[in-house]
Structure formats: C-alpha cells, structure tokens
Amino acid sequence: MDEYAETNRDHWNELASINVKSDFYDVDGFKKGKLSLLPIEREELGDVTGKSLLHLQCHFGLDTLSWARLGAKVTGVDLSDKSIDLARAISKETGIDAEFICSDVYDLPNVLDKQFDIVFTSYGVLLWMPDINKWASVVSHFLKPGGTFYIVELHPFVNVFDVEKDVTGLKVKYPYFHSPIPDKWESDGSYADKDAALTHASYEWTHGMSDILNALIASGLKIEFIHEFPYCCYQRFPFMEKRSDGLYHMTGDKEKMIPLMFSLKAVK
C-alpha cells in the first residue's frame, strides 16, 4: 500500500468512528428497520431479489445491508478496517446476512474470486481512485456476463467550486481535469458531522465525465443510461437546504444552476 492509500485508510478509519454516531447515518434507525438507500438508486437499479451484489467502497455497510434487506446476496468491500469491523458488527446485531471484506479496490481481484450479477458503488467514491481505468477494469472483472454496473455519484463538475464553510456563492477554485498528483486536504469536520475534529489528512483525485465514461467503455461495458441531477446527497455548499425528499437543494437563483450528482447504469 502506497503513502496515499495508507493516509486515506487512516482518514476513513477516523471518519468511521465519527460517522457511525452521526444523525446523518442514523444507525439506530437502520437497526429498527429503516433503509439507508435513497430513492434514486432504489428506483434506477430496481428489483435485486435473489441477485448477487458486490458493493465497492461500502464504508460501514448500511447501504450494503439495505440491499440485503431488499433481497440481494451481498458482499461489501472497503479499504478501512474500522469500517469493516463496524459493518460486521451491525450485520451480526441485525441478523442480516452479508460478507464484508477489507481491501483496496485495486487489490480486490487478488482477494476475492467470484463474479456478481450487480456491482454497485455510490456517493463520494471516485475521488479516492488515482487510476480511473484500473478502477473500471476491476468493476468489469467482477461482473458476470450480462451483469449490471450501477453508480450514483457526485458530479465531477461540482468539484471545481470552493467548499469553505463561509462561501456564499459558486466560486471556481479547483481544476476540472484529472491530474496524477492528488490534492491534499486537511480540514475539520466530516460531511456527516461538520463539527467533528479530524487529525488525518486525505488525498483526492478528480476525474472528468469523459474519463469516467471512456474508462467503463474501454473495460467492455455498454452504457445503458446516464442521468444528471440538480441536488445532492449531503450539504455540499452552506447555501443548500435539505428538503422533504431527503436531498439537499440549492436555494434562490442558484437552484438547478449546475449538476450536483449523476447516475449511470451499464451492462457487461
């Protein structure tokens, strides 16, 4: 494991301890039967009953276990050993059958020898991948012929804007196009708990939409659809508000100004 991956693992181990206690994840609600999945992925991926599902970058497994509640046979994977320990504990406590594996996405073919009906990943996953083509090849590797890949993710365009706590508008600050040299982030607060104190930095990479699409196509997948959305799964900017749909929207004249998330479905 290189320096970047080690740093990001430490970062996510720290986040796991913070996020599992947050209102954002509402683990107590999940244990009482609530699903953590948003309507977007439930509607677009459809019925998963009886299907094998691999969840890449699963954090501490609430979405993985939610798919299991909906009838899938699930395997969750994450770089963070703390996250995987929490996922296994929640699985045991709730009695929801699931397999959880601690592994870097790129190393997973050396750890797991199986193919799946569905490969799923969501919300803040691609920025941790230094090599988008290698990521896509791993996705394809784990899909059965005719299998489905589905991702719902932050739109890469949103990464160009300043996200400081006091920002009042959309201000371009970062490049859109990929660089092999990652950005180093040292900041307080988690997306799930903005008041949390963090001690570990993180490294992130940007990937433009064409990079993502071309990587999946080159890996042998056929794109069935791509959708863009003017709302977000968390409060990306301080001038966003949470609405009754459980998603965060721009306010005033900024509403529907830019794409904040996208979803994509592809088949092998």
DSSP secondary structure, 74-134, as one string = EEEEES-HHHHHHHHHHHHHHT---EEEE--GGGGGGT----EEEEEEESS-GGG-S-HHH
Model confidence over 82-125: pLDDT tens digits? 999 999 999 999 999 999 999 999 999 999 999 999 999 999 99
Model confidence over 69-80: pLDDT tens digits? 999 999 999 999
Mean pLDDT, rounded, for 127-138: 98
d(CA 172, CA 177): 13
Model confidence over 230-263: pLDDT tens digits? 999 999 998 899 998 889 999 887 777 899 999 9
Is the pLDDT at 151 greater than 80? The verdict is yes
For 161, other C-beta atoms within 10 Å of its C-beta total: 16
Q: Are 116 and 138 in contact (CB under 8 A)?
A: no
147, part of any domain: yes
d(CA 179, CA 59): 25
Q: What percent of the chain has pLDDT over 70?
A: 100
Measured between alpha carbons, how far is residue 264 from residues 76, 98, 223 in Å? 20, 25, 7
Across the beta sheet with 248-250, what order do the strands follow?
Answer: 231-232, 248-250, 240-242
Give the pLDDT of residue 81: 97
Could you give the number of structural domains in the chain? 1
DSSP secondary structure, 49-70, as one string = TT-EEEEES-TTSHHHHHHHHT
Give the pLDDT of residue 195: 78
123, part of any domain: yes
Q: Are 147 and 230 in contact (CB under 8 A)?
A: no
179, part of any domain: no
- pLDDT averaged over the chain? 94
Residue 219: which domain range?
A: 35-172+207-267
Measured between alpha carbons, how far is residue 2 from residues 6, 8, 104, 214 in Å? 6, 10, 11, 26
Give the pLDDT of residue 213: 98
H-helix or E-strand spanning residue 231:
strand 231-232
Is the pLDDT at 128 greater than 70? The verdict is yes
Longest dimension (CA), the chain: 50
Give the pLDDT of residue 92: 98
Model confidence over 171-196: pLDDT tens digits? 999 999 999 999 998 877 778 888 78
Q: What percent of the chain has pLDDT over 90?
A: 86
d(CA 218, CA 47): 28
d(CA 35, CA 66): 5
Q: CATH number, domain at 246? A: 3.40.50.150
94, part of any domain: yes
Is the pLDDT at 19 greater than 90? The verdict is yes
Is the pLDDT at 221 greater than 70? The verdict is yes
160, part of any domain: yes
| 95 CB-near residues (< 8 Å, 6+ apart) | none
For 190, other C-beta atoms within 10 Å of its C-beta total: 19
Is the pLDDT at 52 greater than 80? The verdict is yes
196, part of any domain: no
Least confident stretch, 182-186, 204-208, 211-215:
182-186
19, part of any domain: no
Give the pLDDT of residue 1: 63
23, part of any domain: no
Confidence bin at 164 (pLDDT 50/70/90): confident
Confidence bin at 133 (pLDDT 50/70/90): very high
Query: What are the φ/ψ torsions at residue 257 (nearest 5 degrees)?
Result: -80, -40
Mean pLDDT, rounded, for 5-14: 95
Q: pTM, whole model, 2 decimals?
A: 0.96
